[in-house]
């Protein structure tokens, strides 16, 4: 896997890295949506600024709103100013980039639009010298996936027109809503596309610190001998957001935090922490090991769901907003939400991985909305030392060592060890050895979408989910969702906005440890 930071060390290095990458056309479905404005276009333009886009390169925006090339380009300029102010939206770099963006007004469910798309792509191939390579990016609601996939196939746009060229399809999550819908979506995809063409995107996998988990584990000899149930007591993964619905109430009512964050983001991180060393760093070798982890997790019975899962929903409370404590409403008062909603905005799980390395080590996962901090962290808590050596001393108990991997924000890692405090007494305290990306490297961290779009064009699927990986995750989570429908719902709301979730989450830890709440 190639790091964006290493590719952006000057134009000559970038050009050398791109020698094997061919020009292509990038077709964007859902081009007038929020994801395009906030993430995709800023990511593409940033890659252009870094000389990382292949030349030539063209973008075709496929959407139904009444726009033309010039009006759409002007809107995208304003989006870059708003969401990527560090990029030069004025001047020759933007002007050159914008001239390669085209707007095709068409509806997603009519064949005529796809015929015109094919004509325009062939015209752009001739105009720019693009050899027929395509990236189709589905930045649309999931309800539109089937129609787009089918129409691309029926229009003959799903396969390259010439031998030696390529067509790739990028599809945003969610990949289904349960195991049955995930299998149905995979069947629809595979009716028109080969698995090698399909790039299921989860932006968490594009984050530098998620990628660094593999390097931290397998490039440092000090960790691998300890990375097992003999030395590790438990693993905790926290995915917390301060935001409420922000206009997404209608979507979230159908999703809940488990579908929105646990089934994908949290389980992706868990598999990277728990996987065995792959035979190499190619896409399928990495994904093979991740699938093995998912298949090794003990399935949930209805009794397990009642015992080892906790769900919550936030009520009104006070949140820190720009340094001030402000009152915010509860979930049921959000726009688009049923006033009697039983949708969970918090979920906590205890997972058991039943293999040789991890037998007996609980993996705790918690994810929630309206938490005190926006943070994603992994805590590896090592087992405590035997008490025989220090037990006779009049001193506080020695805390177990911890390795904390910070995925966002303040990306980095910390290792907590025990040291003697200065003075005549034998007093020991935990101290932290800290690594931060922001201060350790001169190159700034890039947005996850830059890396994932870059890898799509390069044809590197290492950071994308494979069909069996998606289905294995849903096979694990679907019984939980079904059991929750049959179990009596907790009395919602059961935690206040601005707190770390319901008190019942502590029951998962059975008094053996405590939740790690990021400081």
Where is average pLDDT lowest: 63-67, 334-338, 362-366, 398-402? 398-402
- Tell me, yes or no, whether 179 lies in a domain: no
Q: Residues 262-301: pLDDT tens digits?
A: 998 899 999 999 999 999 878 888 889 999 999 999 999 9
- Tell me, yes or no, whether 509 lies in a domain: no
Inform me whether the pLDDT recorded for 20 exceeds 60.
no
Residues 160 and 214 occupy one common structural domain: no
- Tell me, yes or no, whether 430 lies in a domain: yes
- Tell me, yes or no, whether 181 lies in a domain: no
Query: Angle between the 448-458 and 41-49 helix axes, to the nearest 10 degrees?
Result: 70
Q: Which two tokens stand for residue 118?
A: 């094919």
Task: Report DSSP letters for 316-372, one per residue.
Answer: SEEEEETTEEEEE--GGGSTT--TT----SEEEEEEEB-STTTTT-EEEEEEESS-S
Task: Report DSSP letters for 217-274, one per residue.
Answer: HHS-TTTGGG-STTTEEEEEEEEE-----TT-HHHHHHHHHIIIIIIIIIHHHHHHHH
Q: Residues 398-418: pLDDT tens digits?
A: 778 889 988 888 888 888 877
| The pLDDT of residue 334 | 92
Which residues have a catalytic role annotated? 265
Q: Which two tokens stand for residue 188?
A: 């629809």
Report percent pLDDT > 70 for the chain: 92
Q: How confident is the model at residue 434 (pLDDT cuts 50, 70, 90)?
A: confident
| The pLDDT of residue 519 | 67
Nearest-angstrom CA–CA distance, 173 and 260: 9
Q: Residues 176-234: pLDDT tens digits?
A: 889 999 999 999 999 999 999 999 988 777 777 777 888 888 888 888 889 999 999 99
Residues 333 and 399 occupy one common structural domain: yes
Q: For residue 247, how many C-alpha atoms fall within 13 Å in the half-sphere facing its CB?
A: 1
Contact 309, 292 (CB under 8 A): no
Residues 238 and 371 occupy one common structural domain: yes
> Against a cut of 0.95, is the pTM above it?
no
Owner of token pair 């063209």: 58
Provide the 10 A C-beta neighbour count for residue 269: 25
| The pLDDT of residue 161 | 83
- The SS3 of residue 139 is coil
Residues 248 and 389 occupy one common structural domain: yes
Q: For residue 29, how many C-alpha atoms fall within 13 Å in the half-sphere facing its CB?
A: 27
Residues 109 and 234 occupy one common structural domain: no
Residues 213 and 149 occupy one common structural domain: no
Q: Which two tokens stand for residue 217?
A: 């584990």
Picking from 119, 151, 172, the residue at the C-terminal end of a domain is: 172
Inform me whether the pLDDT recorded for 11 exceeds 60.
no
CA 465 to chain centre: 11
Residues 63 and 142 occupy one common structural domain: yes
| The pLDDT of residue 74 | 92
Torsion angle in degrees (nearest 10) through CA of 454, 456, 459, 460 = 70
| The pLDDT of residue 13 | 39
Picking from 155, 172, 189, the residue at the C-terminal end of a domain is: 172
* Main-chain phi, psi angles of 203, to 5 degrees: -60, -20
Q: How confident is the model at residue 9 (pLDDT cuts 50, 70, 90)?
A: very low
Which residues, 6+ apart, have CB-to-CB distance to 179 below 8 Å?
471, 474, 475, 478
Residues 160 and 286 occupy one common structural domain: no
List the domain range (segments joined by +) for residue 211: 206-501
| The pLDDT of residue 502 | 94
Highest mean pLDDT among 243-252, 277-286, 482-491: 482-491
Residues 307 and 414 occupy one common structural domain: yes
CATH number at residue 330: 3.30.360.10
Residue 383 burial by Cβ neighbours in a 10 Å radius (0-12, 13-18, 19+) = middle
- Tell me, yes or no, whether 511 lies in a domain: no
What's the mean per-residue pLDDT of the chain?
Answer: 86
CATH number at residue 70: 3.40.50.720
Residues 39 and 120 occupy one common structural domain: yes
Instruction: Specify which residues 320 forms β-bridges with.
Output: 325
* Count of structural domains within the chain: 2
Residues 494 and 385 occupy one common structural domain: yes
- Tell me, yes or no, whether 194 lies in a domain: no
- Tell me, yes or no, whether 148 lies in a domain: yes
Picking from 152, 172, 192, the residue at the C-terminal end of a domain is: 172
Q: Residues 107-163: pLDDT tens digits?
A: 988 999 999 999 999 999 999 999 999 999 998 888 889 999 999 999 999 998 888
Residues 132 and 254 occupy one common structural domain: no
Higher-confidence position of 485 and 519: 485
Q: Order of strands, edge to edge, in the sheet holding 362-368?
A: 309-312, 346-352, 362-368, 232-240, 375-382, 402-408, 412-420, 428-436
- Tell me, yes or no, whether 517 lies in a domain: no
Q: What 8-state DSSP symbol labels residue 516?
A: -
């Amino acid at each position: 896997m190639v790091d964006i930071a290493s590719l952006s060390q000057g134009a000559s290095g970038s050009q050398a890295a791109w020698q094997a990458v061919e020009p292509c056309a990038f077709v964007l479905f859902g081009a007038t949506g929020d994801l395009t404005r906030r993430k995709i276009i800023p990511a593409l333009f940033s890659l252009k600024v870094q000389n990382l886009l292949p030349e030539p390169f063209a973008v075709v925006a496929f959407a139904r709103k009444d726009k033309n090339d010039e009006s759409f380009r002007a809107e995208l300029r304003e989006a870059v100013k708003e969401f990527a102010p560090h990029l030069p939206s004025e001047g020759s770099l933007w002007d050159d980039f914008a001239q390669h963006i085209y707007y095709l007004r068409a509806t997603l469910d009519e064949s005529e639009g796809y015929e015109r798309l094919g004509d325009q792509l062939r015209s752009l191939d001739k105009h720019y010298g693009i050899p027929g390579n395509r990236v189709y990016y589905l930045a649309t609601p999931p309800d539109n996936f089937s129609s787009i996939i089918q129409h691309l196939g029926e229009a003959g746009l799903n396969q390259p027109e010439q031998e030696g060229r390529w067509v790739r399809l990028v599809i945003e999550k969610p990949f289904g809503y349960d195991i049955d819908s995930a299998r149905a979506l995979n069947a629809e995809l595979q009716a028109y596309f080969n698995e090698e063409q399909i790039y299921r995107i989860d932006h968490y996998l594009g984050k530098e610190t998620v990628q660094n988990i593999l390097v931290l584990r397998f490039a440092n000899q000090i960790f691998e001998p300890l990375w097992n149930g003999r030395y590790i007591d438990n693993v905790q993964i926290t995915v917390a957001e301060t935001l409420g619905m922000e206009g997404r109430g209608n979507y979230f009512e159908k999703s809940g935090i488990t579908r929105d964050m646990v089934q994908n983001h949290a389980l992706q991180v868990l598999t990277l922490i728990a996987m065995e060393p792959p035979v190499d760093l190619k896409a399928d070798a990495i994904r093979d090991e991740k699938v093995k982890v998912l298949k090794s997790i003990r399935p949930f019975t209805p009794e397990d769901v009642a015992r080892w899962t906790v769900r919550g929903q936030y009520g009104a409370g006070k949140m820190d907003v720009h340094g001030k404590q402000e009152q915010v409403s509860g979930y049921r008062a959000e726009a688009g939400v049923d006033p009697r909603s039983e949708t969970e905005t918090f979920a906590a799980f205890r997972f058991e991985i039943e293999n040789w390395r991890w037998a007996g080590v609980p993996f705790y996962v918690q994810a929630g909305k309206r938490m005190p901090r926006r943070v994603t962290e992994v805590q590896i808590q090592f087992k405590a030392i035997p008490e025989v050596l220090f037990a006779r001393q009049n001193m506080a108990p020695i805390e177990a060592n911890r390795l904390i991997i910070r995925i966002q924000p303040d990306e980095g890692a910390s290792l907590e060890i025990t040291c003697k405090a200065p003075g005549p007494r034998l007093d020991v305290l935990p101290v932290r050895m800290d690594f931060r990306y922001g201060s350790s490297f001169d190159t700034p961290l890039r947005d996850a979408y830059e890396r994932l779009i870059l890898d799509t064009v390069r044809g590197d699927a290492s950071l994308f989910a494979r069909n069996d990986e998606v289905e294995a995750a849903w096979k694990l989570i679907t019984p939980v969702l079904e059991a929750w429908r049959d179990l009596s719902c907790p009395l919602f709301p059961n935690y206040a906005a601005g707190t770390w979730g319901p008190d019942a989450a502590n029951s998962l830890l059975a008094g053996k440890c405590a939740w790690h709440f990021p400081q």
